[in-house]
Amino acid sequence: MRPSTREHLEFDTALAGASGWLAGVDEVGRGCLAGPVVAGCVIATRGFYEGPWCARMADKIDDSKKLTEARREEIFEALPQLAEEGTAYWATGEADAREVDKYNILGATRLAMRRALVKAAERTGGRARLPEKGRAEGLFAPAAGRLTTTLVIVDGLPLKPFPYEHAAFVGGDGRSLAIGLASVIAKVTRDRWISAQDGRFPQYGFARHKGYGTGEHRAALKKYGPCELHRATFLAKIIAQAGAAADPQENFAFG
Residue 20 in this model has a pLDDT that exceeds 80:
no
Partners of residue 93 on adjacent β-strands: 39
Q: Is residue 243 part of a domain?
A: no
Q: Is residue 42 part of a domain?
A: yes
Residue 34: other Cβ atoms inside 10 A: 27
13-22, 25-34, 159-168, 219-228: which has the minimum mean pLDDT?
A: 13-22
- Binning pLDDT at 50, 70 and 90, where does residue 126 land? confident
Q: How many Cα neighbours within 13 Å face the side chain of 208?
A: 11
> What's the full length of the chain, in residues?
255
Q: Is residue 52 part of a domain?
A: yes
More confident residue, 253 or 48: 48
For residue 137, what is the domain's CATH number?
Answer: 3.30.420.10
Describe the crossing of helices 177-196 and 5-16 by its angle, rounded to 10 degrees.
Answer: 110
pLDDT score for 2: 57
DSSP letter for 132, please.
B
pLDDT score for 134: 66
The amino acid sitting at 169 is F
Q: Is residue 84 part of a domain?
A: yes
| pLDDT (average), residues 127-144 | 65
Question: CA–CA separation, 164 vs 153, rounded Å?
Answer: 10
Using CA atoms in the order 191, 65, 69, 203, what is the torsion angle rounded to 10 degrees?
A: 40
Q: Is residue 138 part of a domain?
A: yes
Q: Is residue 241 part of a domain?
A: no
Residue 229 in this model has a pLDDT that exceeds 60:
yes
Cis bond before residue 161 (omega within 30° of 0):
yes
- Binning pLDDT at 50, 70 and 90, where does residue 19 land? low
Q: Which domain holds residue 89?
A: 5-195
What are the residues whose beta carbons fall under 8 Å from the beta carbon of 101, sequence distance 6 or more? 231, 232, 233
- DSSP annotation string for 8-20: HHHHHHHHHTTT-
What are the residues whose beta carbons fall under 8 Å from the beta carbon of 99, sequence distance 6 or more? 36, 108, 111
Q: Is residue 242 part of a domain?
A: no
- The Cα diameter of the chain in Å comes to 61
Q: Is residue 245 part of a domain?
A: no
Which of 63, 43, 18 has its CA nearest to residue 166? 43
| pLDDT (average), residues 101-113 | 98
Which of 186, 131, 134 has its CA nearest to residue 153? 131
Residue 55 in this model has a pLDDT that exceeds 50:
yes
- Number of domains into which the chain is organized: 1
| pLDDT (average), residues 212-224 | 95
The amino acid sitting at 247 is D
Structure confidence by residue, pLDDT tens digits, 174-184: 999 999 999 99
pLDDT score for 248: 40
Alpha-helical (H) ranges within 86-176 are: 97-123, 172-175
pLDDT score for 212: 97
